[in-house]
Amino acid sequence: MDVNQAKQEHLLALKVMRLTKPTLFTNLPVTCEDRDLPGDLFAQLMREDPSTIKGAETLMLGEMLTLPQNFGNIFLGETFSSYISVHNDSNQVVKDILVKADLQTSSQRLNLSASNSAVAELKPECCIDDVIHHEVKEIGTHILVCAVSYTSQFGEKLYFRKFFKFQVLKPLDVKTKFYNAETDEVFLEAQIQNITTSPMFMEKVSLEPSMMYNVTELNSVASGDEGESTFGKMSYLQPMDTRQYLYCLKPKPEYAEKAGVIKGVTVIGKLDIVWKTNLGERGRLQTSQLQRMAPGYGDIRLSLEVIPDTVNLEEPFDIVCKITNCSERTMDLVMEMCNMRSIHWCGVSGRQLGKLTPGASLSLLLTVFSSEQGLQSISGLRLTDTFLKRTYEYDDIAQVCVVCPFMSNEC
């Protein structure tokens, strides 16, 4: 949509055209069998058509390129490019020509002009050309405002504007889910859906972690020296298709021992997505900082650092427990080990662990055995803070598979 500010005839003409990649020409082949009435007529016409592929005339895809016939769709993350031309249609020499291009969004107004200096003069049938580029970072209504000011040969100062309105659409639908592990690890699942009408080549989908975390991508499988993507060699995302990407975040060593710091961390990082569409037109989208709900560990956190996957029936095995003081006060802890129906602890119950300052951790080696087969839950630990006479019980800390060495039963 364009509107002239002034109704009078101007000496200069302004033309604006969006620059986009061309598309491959397509035609609709019409065929028939040889015994039909047209005979070989349709086949001969397709062979003579310059837009068809020689030897494959019945394919809809041709060899020629088609220039854009309309403004087309603009998606968030793409680069908007436009060609601006000011032509002198009169027989007069025009002076002090200034061309200005601004992009008005819902939140800001951006100057896209390459130069803000005026051109001294413009002779008849000559033109001033400029190409502007802008990476679109907002969705919604955008207005390209092109303004031209100049001075006629009689010293009259003239001015006019044109407005070009277009919509910026959302190309991807991104949904995230967080999973907190027993340790300080955080797993992020990102679901990315292509909501455009054309396929995309997903060039890169990465997670930029916050300063406290290191990230490991879990979107490939080991294959020789290099990992192979779980999505195959051709990473295309068809319209309305969805992909799921998985990432594991671990606290950096300097933050791993600071339980109070890690406990309150909600900012994980941001996703960086790069794709290409028809004929390699590139788009890039970065999400805002992803935030999770910080896990509530309470005053004391008990986690398992070492536990075997499979153990033998009625055979003691060792586990390593890590106790972390997540409160803001010093605790004096006592550990009690309570036997359960199938889980039996080895050692002295009521063990004095001593004082544990805020944010500090303590690792303990414990021995336990199971009297029943199958998948058993490690339970029965109890911690007591003697300062406040407060007790913390821990059940279902972890699970272990118990098998009989003389039988072939499996969990």
φ, ψ (nearest 5 deg) of residue 45: -65, -40
Residue 338 contacts residue 347 (beta carbons within 8 Å): no
What integer pLDDT is reported at residue 169 of this predicted model? 93
**CA 155 from centre of chain:** 56
Nearest-angstrom CA–CA distance, 226 and 213: 25
pTM: 0.67
Cβ-Cβ contacts under 8 Å for 383 (sequence gap 6 or more):
300, 302, 323, 333, 334, 335, 336, 353, 391, 392, 394
Pull the structure tokens for residue 240: 């309305």
Per-residue model confidence (pLDDT) at position 7: 59
Domains of the chain from N-terminus onward: 12-19+69-169 (2.60.40.10), 172-219+235-293 (2.60.40.1230), 300-403 (2.60.40.10)
Tens digits of pLDDT across the chain (411 residues): 444 444 568 889 999 988 888 777 777 777 777 777 777 777 777 777 777 767 666 666 777 777 777 777 889 999 999 999 999 988 889 999 999 999 999 889 999 987 778 888 889 999 999 999 999 999 999 999 999 999 988 888 999 999 999 999 999 999 999 887 766 788 999 999 999 988 999 999 999 998 888 999 988 887 666 777 888 777 889 999 999 999 999 888 877 666 555 666 678 899 999 999 877 888 999 999 988 776 666 788 888 888 998 999 999 999 999 888 888 889 999 999 999 889 999 988 998 999 998 878 899 999 999 999 999 989 999 999 998 888 988 888 888 898 988 765 555
pLDDT of residue 259: 55
Closest CA to 90 of 2, 8, 164: 8
